[in-house]
């Protein structure tokens, strides 16, 4: 690991998880900036999905069921 990167890592390893997440978000945004148009589109999409869920137009599916279906699909393709 690069010396400076290791120094940064060593200083941040003991940070509280929220601060680590904030730091990672900042680094990722620097590496791969978010296109404001795409971000706005995703915000609108998520708001629309939440409205549909709250109105009862769509139902949620428990995560374990979703992951079981994915595992079955990919196991059948192997």
* Domain assignments of the chain as residue spans, ordered by start: 1-33, 36-77
The string of pLDDT tens digits covering residues 12-34 is 999 999 999 999 999 999 999 98
Is the overall model pTM greater than 0.85, yes or no? no
CB-CB neighbours of 23 under 10 Å: 13
| Contact (CB, 8 A) for 23 and 15 | yes
Cα–Cα distance measured from residue 52 to residue 46, given in angstroms and rounded to the nearest whole number: 10
Residue 78 has pLDDT above 80, yes or no: no
pLDDT at 1: 57
Nearest to 47 by CA among 32, 14, 55: 55
Q: What is the mean pLDDT of residues 36-43?
A: 96
């Amino acid at each position: 690991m690069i010396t400076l990167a290791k120094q940064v890592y060593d200083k941040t390893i003991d940070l509280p998880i929220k601060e680590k997440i904030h730091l990672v978000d900042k680094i990722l945004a620097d590496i791969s900036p978010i296109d404001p148009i795409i971000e706005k589109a995703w915000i609108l999409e998520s708001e629309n999905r939440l409205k549909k869920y709250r109105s009862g137009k769509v139902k949620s599916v428990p995560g374990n069921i979703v992951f079981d279906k994915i595992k079955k699909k990919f196991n059948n393709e192997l």
